[in-house]
Amino acid sequence: MCLGARRGGCGGDRPDQHFPGDHAGDDDRRVSRSRCARSRTGGHTDRRKSDTEGPLRRLALAGPLHCWRRRKGKIDRRRVHSSQGIPRPRHARSRGGTSPLRVGAQHGLRNARAHRSIANIWTDAAAPPQLCAGVPDGDVRVTFAFSDIPDQSGKTAIVTGANTGIGLEIARGLSRKGARVILACRDGDKAKAAIDDIASGPEQSDLDFLQLDLADLASIRDAAEHAKNEKKIDILIDNAGIMIPPLSHAIGGAESQFAVNHLGHFALVGLLLDKLARDGGARIVTQSSIAHKGAKIDFDNLDARRGYSRTKFYGQSKLANLLFALELDRRLRAANSPVVSIACHPGVAQTELTRHLGIMGSVFGPLIGLALNSAADGALPALQAATDPQAEGGDYYGSWGFREMSGKVSGKAYATRTARDPLLAARLWDKSIEMTGIDPGLAPAEG
């Protein structure tokens, strides 16, 4: 990890953790004085090029004076994780060079190896609270590994689609830490085989099967009623999904990917929300995908009658997952509910979702596991969302590697502006109620 802090310099009150020449967010008066100083020195300022040239400059916030094409105060999307940018405060804007320092509660934070991550940003005086490990000297954890999963003894978790792939590994990870895990699956035989697989491990396990077909509202209602018989539910992981199948229809006449991946989970959460709110609240974890990037919700073609593209409809369903998770968090907060909604994605992982690719899926599936993520690697972000004591409602986790496609550890992920659009999310919420006939009973968040 490349770490640093700023030495005090001449003029201004820029915070210690920012680079010289970086005027993003400065008021016009300070920028004008800086420009005057440049004119008096022939266009040159007292910069330490060894500290600002090359890789270090690429990590700075956008808007230095020489980059006049960028709007003042905006974030350079090519240089910084756009969804996690932390604006510099108006106070404390000093100049000077950089010097290596360990990360501490009063120092900035940078991880030069974590591309497009929150760790690439010079933060305010203290590291972001969601990254602080609570150690007295201010040490910071920016990633999450299997060894970081805390003990889950006494907790009950429901994992949809847990009979194979990522869902199976999520169930295995929770069971190994002592949780009672209920595998909510459509195929009972595969679920029982998965239970035998998990139980064959050295750890003592408490596993059960819940019949659930997310394409059938009657099955969802039955599953919710059976789930309510549990003493408590601490974790609900909405993991099940289908990917690029031939065109078919399910709940509300919607195309099957949108129906299973989004509407089915929307209905399940709505039916279980009161149960989840008991005993101090539960965590709802929704599995999205990097396929949400570039996707949009076509409300006029949810039944695919105006055309069907397998990949576009898959991306649409994953965008709906993320919109739902973030909107659910906003509404839960507004209602002062103890339930927490968190989203995640598995990167690009080897799963049975590629079964509809035919020969290509059978050939490239194993290669994905070797080159990118195995099913176990893809399960880690969901396990972080479900168990990390530092996770908060509205967080979004994913693989901590190249373009979030792979990684042996997980961390904060990138959600597009579309995914964070509250108006779009509210429209999707209302449409989901209309198509499922199930209302979670949460009022929109004001503002």
Provide the 3-class DSSP secondary structure of residue 343.
strand
- Which tokens is 222 given? 């039955």
Q: How far apart are CA 112 and CA 60, in angstroms?
A: 11
Q: Using CA atoms in the order 307, 258, 315, 420, what is the torsion angle rounded to 10 degrees?
A: 120
DSSP letter string, 254-283: -BHHHIIIIIHHHHHHHHHHHHHTSTT--E
Distance CA 167, CA 379 (A): 7
| Pairwise CA distance, residues 353 & 291, whole Å | 13
Q: Residues of 371-393 as b/e, b for ≥16 C-beta within 10 angstroms?
A: ebbbbbbbbbbbbbbbbbeebeb
Q: Are 188 and 209 in contact (CB under 8 A)?
A: yes
Place of tokens 């005993």: 279
Q: Which positions ≥6 away from 430 have C-beta within 8 Å?
A: none
**Does residue 396 have an active-site annotation?**
no
Spatial separation of the C-alpha atoms in residues 202 and 182, rounded to whole Å:
19
318 vs 312: CA distance, rounded Å:
10
The one catalytic residue among 308, 314, 396, 397: 314
Which residue has tokens 């339930």?
339
Query: Which backbone phi and psi does 140 adopt, to 5 degrees?
Result: -125, 135
DSSP 352-391: GGGGGGTHHHHHHHHHHHHHSB-HHHHHHHHHHHHH-TT-
Give the Cα separation of 400 and 406 in Å (integer). 7
Which are the catalytic amino acids? 314
